[in-house]
Structure 1
């Protein structure tokens, strides 16, 4: 994979001495210094590969039975909002949900006609911008809707978020209470809090179904499995993580390999001590790059086809692994952190006592370079 990252120098001019080598060379003349438009190529030791064709395929599968409102909050789960939006639009997606006004505006600037829904709180001071750009908001508080009227003269398009058990930005009020002069109710929605709890989901589904008879253009829930299981009378599903399963791989690099005698303390606080002569490799990823710090069980990476178990305390930018005696491993070797085959997001989530969505979010940070591919 291409692993070069382009870094742009945001200052108009940079002093030549910033880039001088240790050899004695004539400094660059001022006109030869780097401009804003000059790229510098540097190799990242840790990177992720995002296969946009998998995201496209996931969307096409989900859209076979219901309309789809694609949830792309948090910069599309830290995958890159614009790259993901472009991919989904090319697959036929026409409606998106985000959490912030900022992300909604980014979509609107790129795609003037797409339907966009903001799932988070919208401040009254932002409502005029939102309505001017024809962006919809969720409704859960009638007092807030009344306050909006003081900040805009435009009709506000809302999706009333019914509280069937999530108890977040939602309401248990009657739908009629939201029928205000300056409000157009275009959507009715709910959020399943735990699809693994069948009894609780039964109650949520029944509660939502009891109000779905109204003629509202968009009726939707986020839990794709629950919608199918209960054959709910909704027009759309609202998938988030379901769009992005299996799309990402993460790789790093062996930075050092050393053989230590028995009794050697490894890492911060001597988190691991060798019990015999043992080879330890240092891998260039840590909690600062999204791997996590406190783990349970036996997390491992794969180097040249060999499973190497993580040992000791994980550092901000590095971690330690024990190298089997028969393995041939050297500095510079590629390390598989996540490949959806030997190492899955579910496995990493179990090692760090979290959920798959958080695993994906963690790996979307500036310490990991992103490479976009289409493998189909």
Structure 2
């Protein structure tokens, strides 16, 4: 009997990349595959997305793993480097790096005097236009550009970038505030620009500059609140499934699970699925969270356990032990599961554990 299985469709990944290119036909595409390819497998994702123009990662270890796997495309460190000693490795491996603070800039300048770097490092200068996370203040742009172009180990052709805080909220006026701030900060330069994440790629034409940086949409998930990826012609890449390991008839007023937090309102048939928070299924999934069994949606009932969940199959159920249960993916959008667990699809995808078996098709 098979238990937790994550099946990853590489053709769905490629389909979703093609959708990005249709949405932003004038832009180059940086496929963001940080956090182990949003939980889908870093190397497998990058190999499948070989028509992307670059890959974006958060940690230099992820970049090393891509190079070791023979990925020769542009790799951008989206958070930059954390230690000065990484600069030499960035140069040797032809990585590109984001610069978002004074410390990183000073360390690049110091490296220029101490290291022999044959090929200058390509730098993406991040400007904080209102996210208040990473990035230099708009008033610092001229100084940073001047110093970077004077730095011997930096390629003179920079990329200017920013990140939108509310792109996933349709008609949020703050998006226009940030776009205007970026335009004012960057208009004096002829460098390439990059603004759009997945949400902006979908809905904000002004954000589709020289580069777009899709992440979650590549994996078939819409970042727009209230939507699923299917509504944007995206295909779910991961389908997580397991099987029924118990089917039993119970009477009305039967408490279910730890604490008896759910009680059967009438006679019914309960099923137990071999999946739990030990596999990465969200523990805080509420009663009613959808599970797909034999072509129909049935509700999760009772608390999620480490290894099991219970579902209400209904009094007329014909389901049997061994039947497949889909927790999300084909036939059941992960956005619906995330909503019931009061979280986001990003988190659910990234938290699967090593107990889950993987299959790439």
Per the normalisation by structure 1, the TM-score is: 0.80
Q: Is the 8 A contact 1:44 1:369 kept in 2?
A: no
Aligned residue in 2 for 1:226: 200
Q: Is the 8 A contact 2:287 2:299 kept in 1?
A: no
Higher alpha-carbon Rg:
1
Distance 1:232 1:330, change over 3 A: closer
Conserved? CA contact 2:243–2:323, under 8 Å: yes
Partner of 1:346: 335
Change in 2 beyond 3 A, CA 1:296/1:272: closer
Question: Alignment partner of 1:55: what SS?
Answer: helix
Deviation, structure 1 residue 323: 1.9
RMSD: 2.1
CA distance change for structure 1 residues 249 and 132 in 2, over 3 Å: closer, same or farther? Answer: same
Give the direction of change, closer, same or farther, for the CA distance of 1:71–1:301 in structure 2 (3 Å limit).
Answer: same
Structure 1: give runs of 5+ residues left out of the alignment.
Answer: 1-42
Distance in structure 2 (CA, Å) of the matches to 1:230 and 1:170: 23
1:120, distance to aligned residue in structure 2 (A): 2.0
Structure 2 unaligned blocks of 5 or more: 221-235
Q: Where does residue 140 of structure 2 map in the other structure? A: 174
The residue aligned with 2:8 is 50
Q: Distance in 2 between matches of 1:200 and 1:306?
A: 41
Q: In structure 2, which of residues 259, 262, 278 is the aligned counterpart of residue 269 of structure 1?
A: 259
The separation in 2 between residues aligned to 1:336 and 1:112, in whole angstroms, is 33
Answer yes or no: is 1:368 the counterpart of 2:340. no
Q: Does 1:320 align with 2:295?
A: no
SS across alignment from 1:164: coil
Which residue in the other structure is 2:279 paired with? Answer: 289
Could you give the per-residue CA deviations for residues 247-270 of structure 1, whole angstroms, max 9, x where no partner exists? 221211001112233443321112
Residue among 248, 253, 262 paired with 1:258: 248
Q: How does 1:79-158 map to 2 (within 5 A)?
A: 79-89=40-50, 92-111=51-70, 113-122=72-81, 123-151=83-111, 153=115, 154=117, 155-158=120-123
Counterpart residue number, 1:18: none
What is residue 165 of structure 2 aligned with on the other side? 193
Superposed displacement of residue 174, structure 1: 2.8
User: Does 2:288 align with 1:298?
Assistant: yes
Q: 1:225 to 1:312 in 2, by over 3 A?
A: closer
Structure-1 separation of matches of 2:265 and 2:164: 49
Counterpart of 2:36 in structure 1 is 75
Provide Cα deviations, 1:119-142, integer angstroms capped at 9, x if missing partner: 125222222212221111111112
Shift of 1:372: 1.1
Residues 254 and 263 in structure 2, CA contact (< 8 A), matched pair in contact too: yes
Moved more, 232-241 or 197-206: 232-241
Q: Deviations over 1:305-358 (max 9, x none)?
A: 3432111111011101112111112211111222343x2111111101112222
Change (3 A) 1:297 1:258: closer
Paired with 2:284 and 2:8, the residues of 1 have a C-alpha distance of 26
Contact 1:285 1:317 in 2 (8 A): yes
Q: Does the 8 A contact of 1:137 with 1:159 survive in 2?
A: yes
Aligned residues of 2:268 and 2:313 also touching (Cα < 8 A): yes
Work out the CA distance in 2 between the residues paired with 1:229 and 1:312: 41
Checking the alignment, whether the CA contact within 8 Å between 1:306 and 1:327 is kept in structure 2 is no
How far 1:101 moved relative to its partner?
Answer: 0.4
Offset of residue 286 of structure 1: 1.2
User: Could you report, residue by residue, the CA deviation over 1:45-70 in whole angstroms, capped at 9, with x for unpaired residues?
Assistant: 11122111111111122124111011
| Post-superposition CA distance 1:22-45 (Å, at most 9, x none) | xxxxxxxxxxxxxxxxxxxxx641
d(CA) in 1 for partners of 2:290 and 2:31?
Answer: 33
The answer to whether the 8 A contact 2:13-2:49 is kept is: yes
- Report which stretch shifted further, 264-273 or 97-106: 264-273
